[in-house]
Amino acid sequence: MKTPKRILVFQTAFLGDVILTLPMIQMLYKKFPDASIDVVTTPIASELLANHPAISTVIPYDKRKSQKGIAGILSLLHQLRKNQYDLAIVPHRSLRSAIVIGLSGIKNRISFSTSSGSLFYNHIVHYEKSKHEIERNLSLITPLDITVQQKEFPSLYPSTADNIVIDKFLFDMEILEHHSMIAIAPGSVWKTKRWLLERFSELSLMLASAGYEIVIIGGKEDSELGRAIIETAKHKSIHDATGKFSLLQSAELIRRCKTLVTNDSAPLHIGVAMRTPIVAIFGATVPEFGFGPYGKNDIVVETKNLPCRPCAIHGGNECPIGTFVCMKNIEAGVVAEKVKSLITI
């Protein structure tokens, strides 16, 4: 394969999946610094990839709304063909992604052996279930003679303006630089991946009472959770930041925290990208799927040895057997001790 001049990375899965694609993109940039590297992704992920030095152009693809259906695919294909890429790398294993790339006119097309449309690719890489998703994605660039000698972490790049927004928030909340701040992300798209609301409230109160400043983070969809924690815990050192910031502003807020407590959800991967130590709570899913925290000292809290677990790769809206013991068996005091132990490292 000739040295590529124009590279396309196609990843339109969930936000966390996009973040876990970044180490591969960063290694591509190191290998081919003169190449143009474009990324097709979802509109929300496009915001998160802003300012990234390894990415030339982010191409938003709104597959669920404005570009839904055949018309949306055709408009995207028109753009991709016009850009004349030499190489496409596709971590997303969906049939739609495969069809788009197969019809794009791009000569060299790399994806996983487990892709739903593997016939549309001419370079297939074995999908290693036992590896972390970061390492699986990095394996996609082995056909380009790129080897990774050490862990490659994703990186995000909040702007100066993002920093100023967070500075103002901390000033308004009277959180000073010397304060130890802990971020708590209680949300998830899937209900069976959420630790209990009352446990998050109990944890927040425990840590606030121990002298930490607690910031509840999340998107607008998590605002109800944030308000409920604030109203239940009732402590002046617990602050609600849900729905107030953009993704990169939230990333900057996470960066300033001593640790992040999160479910198996997108904030976990943002925390990894910002090098913030993580305590991750897993319920319906397991870190063995390859989507756990990646830092050296990061901690996973889970209920092991349950015959019903894992119950689904993405979680679900209700416990299939009606007990939800995977989450109910995790006590707030246990998580609080894990947080304190991580802060002292």
**268: β partners:** none
Distances from the Cα of 288 to the Cα of 115, 183, 333, angstroms:
20, 24, 25
- What pLDDT score was predicted for residue 30? 97
- What pLDDT score was predicted for residue 273? 98
- What pLDDT score was predicted for residue 87? 98
Distances from the Cα of 275 to the Cα of 213, 297, 315, 328, 342, angstroms:
19, 11, 26, 29, 13
Is residue 8 within 8 A of residue 85, CB to CB? The reply is yes
pLDDT in tens, the chain (345 residues): 789 999 999 999 999 999 999 999 999 999 999 999 999 999 999 999 999 999 999 999 998 888 988 999 999 999 999 999 999 999 999 999 999 999 999 999 999 999 999 999 999 999 999 999 999 999 999 999 999 989 999 999 999 999 999 999 999 999 998 889 999 999 999 999 999 999 999 999 999 999 999 999 999 999 999 999 999 999 999 999 999 999 999 999 999 999 999 999 999 999 999 999 999 999 999 999 999 999 999 999 999 999 999 998 889 999 999 999 999 999 999 999 999 999 986
- What pLDDT score was predicted for residue 329? 98
Helices (H) and strands (E) in the chain, counts: 13, 12
- What pLDDT score was predicted for residue 344? 82
**339-345: which pairs have CB atoms within 8 A and are 24 or more residues apart?**
339/182, 339/203, 339/207, 339/259, 339/261, 339/279, 340/210, 341/299, 342/259, 342/277, 342/279, 342/297, 342/298, 342/299, 343/180, 343/182, 343/258, 343/259, 343/277, 345/277, 345/297
- What pLDDT score was predicted for residue 179? 86
Residue type, 60: P
C-alpha count within 13 angstroms, C-beta hemisphere, residue 186? 28
For 269-309, the DSSP string reads: HHHHHTT--EEEEESSS-GGGTTS--STT-EEEE--S-TT-
Query: Which token pair is 174?
Result: 């009277």
Q: What is the pTM of this model?
A: 0.96
- What pLDDT score was predicted for residue 139? 97
- What pLDDT score was predicted for residue 116? 94
Q: Which domains does the chain have, with CATH numbers?
A: 6-144 (3.40.50.2000), 161-343 (3.40.50.2000)
Cβ atoms < 10 Å from Cβ of 32: 17
pLDDT tens for 294-313 read: 999 999 999 999 999 999 88
